[in-house]
A = this chain, B = another copy of it.
Amino acid sequence: MKTMSHHKWIPATMLAVLAMSPSAFAQESASTEEALATLTKGLDSVFVLLSAFLVFFMNVGFGCVESGFCRAKNAVNILGKNFVVFGLASLSFYIIGYGLMFSSGNPIMGTSGWMLGDVNPADNLPQKVFFFFQLAFAATAATIVSGCVAERIHYGAYMALAFVLVAILYPITGHWVWGGGFLSTLGTPFHDFAGSTVVHSVGGWAGLAGILLLGPRSGKFPKSGGVHPIPGHSMALVFLGGLILWLGWFGFNPGSNLAIGDGSAVAHIVLTTNMSAAAGLVAATIVAWLYFGKPDFSMTVNGCLAGLVAITAGCDVISVPMSIVVGAIAGALVVFSVVFFDKIRIDDPVGALSVHLACGIWGTLAVGIFGGEGCSLGSQIVGIIAVGLYTFIVSLIVWAIIKATIGLRVSQEVESLGLDISEMGMEAYPEDPFPG
């Protein structure tokens, strides 16, 4: 008002009104705008933190599913891996991985942002909110590997791979897709909304490389031929884990929107995620019932996870009815994939390759089929191949280095005694007279 205070010809009453309103309004407006900005940032923070907590909770889910599908004699080992991995991932992603993935750098990798720096690609969010959400994602990729190599790997060997995976392997392909790298600048960009490829297939490829170097668990493929099923020790843990993972996915996919907006886009993602899971589990149950003669519960759970992995890439662009189709196909696929991997004598104790790799690929392709405009099957195939080749080859090299240095596989004796007594020095259920 100072600049106007000498315009005596304006009636005092009006001046008073102006004094109260437009300029007050100017201040008010500024503060309203600021208040709105703070509220929006705060609301998006609550939304993304809630999502990150749900993704964090997936660690419980993975640990339960993996240990439940394995024998009691190796349970502590698997639970331990699933517990330690979030600790290792926190350190390695904080120090190296985050910068490699999200700083601008070049089309191949980021080149700054160690210990966060000031890298923050999500300008609607505080940096640490964005980082924590991404950290939870990074740990997921490592957790998937743990299932593939279960019941025969050295504790330390898995830790080494997990550290490198989260520090270097995962962030580089992540940069290609989510960090401004070359897959995000294709004519039609590669579309992977929440990570069917970036997270799940990457975990699957690294796990496959490990399986190839480790070989199958002893007894799984008898010399006499055929497949000797090795049932898991607790379906209660599998149940817990399966539903906790489903719940966690409501953070994984919707949270990847990174903003709540008016809720519409996020709710669409919640719904496609849920319907694909539902269709996946129903399809897998029916297919298993017809195919094996029993409504195999492990297929029910893996069918659900298959639907979740498959819709992850396109949960934002695929319609609700089509999400049912994507999930149903994933649910059927996972049953045949489990049978297939057994047939080619790839020993994947918990079905992680079928769930995360096979359905990760299917879901990424599904974006090209059902995603509508702005998605191209060609770009999807390019992304699948680029990420797959890189991850498989580099992780094969890393596994080989681990094998040559600290060793990969436990001895035959340790394996038959169980990793818990030998490697961990304790049993999961010491009072049970038949631990393995």
Contact = CB atoms under 8 A, between A and B. Distances in A.
B42 A262 contact: yes
A28 interface: yes
A427 to B, nearest CB: 7
A281 interface: yes
Given A46-B50, A60-B244, A430-B233, A300 B22 contact: no
A377 interface: no
Nearest to A254: B49
A304 to B, nearest CB: 7
A243 B63 contact: yes
Interface in A29-71: 29, 32, 35-47, 49-50, 52-54, 56-57, 59-60, 63-64, 67, 71
A83 B278 contact: no
Given A3-B13, A23-B21, A75-B235, A298 B260 contact: no
Contact of A83 (B83, B89, B239): B239
A297 B263 contact: no
Interface in A115-167: 115-116, 125-129, 131-132, 135, 155-156
Interface residues of A, number: 135
Nearest to A267: B128
Given A320-B116, A425-B293, A434-B432, A242 B83 contact: yes
B47 A87 contact: no
Contacts of A277: 87, 90
A115 B36 CA distance: 36
A72 B49 CA distance: 37
A268 interface: yes
A250 B56 CA distance: 10
Given A38-B262, A267-B129, A29 B26 contact: no
Given A40-B39, A271-B128, A426-B235, A247 B57 contact: yes
B424 A297 contact: yes
Interface in A65-100: 67, 71-72, 75-76, 79-80, 82-84, 86-91, 94
Main secondary structure of the interface of A (DSSP, over half): helix
A270 B44 CA distance: 15
Give the residue among A11, A20, A236, A244 with the most B Cβ atoms within 10 A: A236
A219 interface: no
A40 B34 CA distance: 13
B278 A87 contact: yes
Contact of A278 (B28, B75, B86, B254): B86
A301 B86 CA distance: 12
A40 to B, nearest CB: 6
19 contacts: A4-B14, A21-B21, A24-B29, A35-B40, A36-B36, A39-B43, A72-B431, A83-B243, A84-B285, A84-B300, A86-B246, A87-B281, A115-B321, A132-B270, A132-B271, A155-B295, A156-B295, A234-B429, A236-B237
